[in-house]
Chain A
Amino acid sequence: MLTYVSIIVAGLLTGCVYGLMALGLSVIFGVTRIVNFAHGEMMVVGMYAVLVLNQKLGLDPFVMTPVIAAGLFVGGYALQRGLVNRYIARPEHEQFLLLLAVAIMLTSSTLMVFGPDARNVQVDYAYDSYEIGGVLVDKVRLLAALGAVGGVAALWAFFRWTRTGKSIRACADNQVGAQVVGLDVKRLYAVTFGIGAACVGAAGVLLLLLVDVQPYIAADFTLLAFIIVIVGGLGSMPGALLGGLLVGVSEALSGFMVLPSLKSMFSFALLIVVLLVRPQGLLGRRA
C-alpha cells in the first residue's frame, strides 16, 4: 500500500514540473492562438544550456533557473517578433510548418553541438530522500516540484496583478478591443511567447534533475504538453497544473502496474476522451 502512495506522490511531484512546462504552451496558445510545435525543442535547448553552465561553472541547476528562464524569454520574444508574428493570421498549416521547421532546426542544432548521447546533470543530493510517514520522497523530486509550483504561482501573480499581465489577458479575450484601447498587440504577443518560452525553459531545468536529456526527447514533450493542456483546459492556469498532475500520476501508476511501455497509451486515451466529451478541458472555459 505504501508503495502505491510513494508512487502516486512521485507522480504528483513530477506532474508539477509537467504542469509548468504545459503552462508555457497554454499561455502561448491561449493568447496568440498559435500552436507552438517547437515547444519541446525550446525546452531541450534550455536543458542543454543548464548542462553547459553546470559543467563550466559548477552551479546548481536550481540557482540557474532564473537565468535560463530569462535567456529563453529573450529567445522566445525574438522568435515571435522576428518570425512568427507574420503568421498570426495565416492558415493553420502554414503556422504548423513554420514552427515545425524551427523545431527541426533546433533539434538538429543540439544534435550537431552535443551529439546524440543521453546526458544528465549530477547534484550532490541526487540520491537523498525524505521519509514522511513511511512514504519515501526523493529530495530532488520534491525540490523540483516546489520550484515548479513557485513558477506557476509567480506567473499567476504576474497575470493577475501586473499591468502587462492584464494587458495580455485583454488581448487574449478580445484582440480588436485591445488594439482599440491602444495596447501594442504585437509587443504583447512577443512578450507572451517569451513568457511561454521562459516557463518551458524553467521546467526544463527542473526536469533535467529527473530525466536525461537527448535531442530526440523534444517531440515527446511537445506532445505531452499538448495532452496536458487539452485535458486541463486551454487558457486555464490551474488547469495546466491539474492536467500535469493527472498525467504525472497516470504515468507513474501505469508504469508500475502495467508495462512501462504502455504508459503513454493512457495519456492518449485520456486525450481522446476529453476531446470528445469535454473539449474545453476539465477546467477550461467553453469557447
Chain B
Amino acid sequence: MQEMLSGVPRRAALALALFVAAMLAMPLFAGSYVVSVLVVVLFSAYLGQAWNIMMGFAGQLSLGHALYVGLGAYVSAALFVHFGLPPWIGMLAGMAAAALAGSLIAALSFRFGVTGVYFALLTIAFAEFTRIVFNHFGWVGGSSGLFLPVANLARDDLVNLRGSPAMFYYILLALTLCALALGHLLLRRRVGFYWQAIREDQEAAQALGIDVFRYKIAAVTLSAVMTAIAGALMAFYDNNLYPDTTFAIGRSIDIITAPIIGGLGTLFGPILGAFVLTVLSETMTNLSSAIGINGLKQWIYGATLLAIVMLQPAGLWPWLRARLRLDEAKR
C-alpha cells in the first residue's frame, strides 16, 4: 500500500479517497434506477481501462474489443447453462479463451508487420467474423440467443452471480478500483516504461533492447483477459446474449469512446469518460422520449463527441485534473 501511494500527491490521494467513499455509499442512498445507471457506468469505465492498457499505454489501436467481451460472456454462460459450471470458474475459462484469441491475433499481426490502421481493421475483421460464426453456432443458441435461467432468490448469491444490481455494482466497483491500482503499478514498473517507449517510437525502443514483439503481445493479451472478465459479468447481469449485440462493432466503438473522451493513457480518464458519456446518453434517452424525435439523442451524442474532439482532444481528465490541481507527481 505504502509503495503504491508513494509518488501520488496529497491532493490526488485525498480526492481519490473521497471518490471511493462516495461510490461505496451510493447504493445506500440512491434509488434502483440510479444504481442501474451506475452499473452501466462502471462496466464502461472498467472496459475502458482494459482497452486503455493496450492503446493508451502501448499505443496499439484495437477496434474489435467486443470479441473479448463476447468470448468472456459466451464461454462462461455456455458452461453454466450446459454443465452447471460455477460462474467464477467459467469466467476463468472465458479469460483463457480471450487470452488465446488476443495473443493469436497479436502474434499473427505483428509477425507479419501489420500495424496502425491496418491492425485496427484486422481487429474489426476478427470480431465480425466471430460474430457471424456464433450466429450459426447452435450450442450457444445461435442468432436466437443464449438465455440464463433467472433465479428469483430473496438474497444475493455471490458465488453463483445471481443477485441484485447492487451486488453487481460492488463487484464492478471493486474491479474498477483494482484496474486503477493495476494501471498505476504497471506504469511505475519496467513494463509500463517499455510500453510507453513502444507507443512513442517502436524502432528507438528496439534499439534500447526492448523485445517489442513480445511486449506488444503482452499488452494485447492482458487487455483481452481483463475485458473478458467484464464479458462474463455482463452475461450474468443481463442473463441473455445475442451474437449481434455482444460481438457488435457498435459495442467495440462504445468501449473506446469513453477512454478517448476521458483521456487516453491516463489512469482516471476512462472512469471520467464513462461517467460523462453514460450520463449524457441517459439524459438524451429520457429527453428524446419526452420530445419524441427519433434520432435526436444520437445527434446530440455525436455533436458532443465532435465538440470534445475539437476542444479537448487530449481528453477531459487532463483538463479537469489541472483545474483541480491534482497533477500527477513528478517522479
What is A's interface to B at a CB cutoff of 8 Å? Answer: 35, 90, 92-94, 96-98, 100-105, 107-112, 115-116, 215, 219, 223, 226-227, 230, 259, 261-262, 264-265, 268-269, 271-272, 275-277, 279
Contacts and interface: CB of A to CB of B under 8 A. Distances in A.
B294 A115 contact: yes
A93 B260 contact: yes
Given A104-B298, A271-B121, A276 B129 contact: no
A265 B294 CA distance: 31
Contacts of A92: 61, 116-117, 120
B324 interface: no
A93 B264 contact: yes
Interface on chain A toward B: helix, strand, loop, or mixed SS? helix
Interface string B31-69: 000000000000000000000000100000101000000
B108 interface: yes
Contact of A97 (B55, B114, B309): B309
Given A108-B302, A219-B250, 18 more contacts: A93-B61, A93-B256, A93-B260, A94-B313, A98-B310, A100-B305, A101-B303, A101-B306, A105-B302, A110-B295, A111-B298, A112-B295, A112-B299, A261-B135, A261-B143, A262-B132, A275-B109, A275-B114
A271 B108 CA distance: 14
A250 to B, nearest CB: 14
B126 interface: yes
Contacts of A107: 295, 298
B125 A272 contact: yes
Nearest to B63: A96
B122 A275 contact: yes
A265 B118 contact: no
B253 interface: yes
Contact of B306 (A105, A115, A223): A105
5 contacts: A96-B120, A110-B295, A268-B132, A275-B125, A276-B122
Contact of A93 (B55, B125, B296, B301): B55
B299 A265 contact: no
A97 B257 contact: yes
B249 A223 contact: yes
Contacts of B149: none
Given A90-B313, A261-B135, A112 B294 contact: yes
A104 B264 contact: no
B8 to A, nearest CB: 27
A104 B309 contact: no
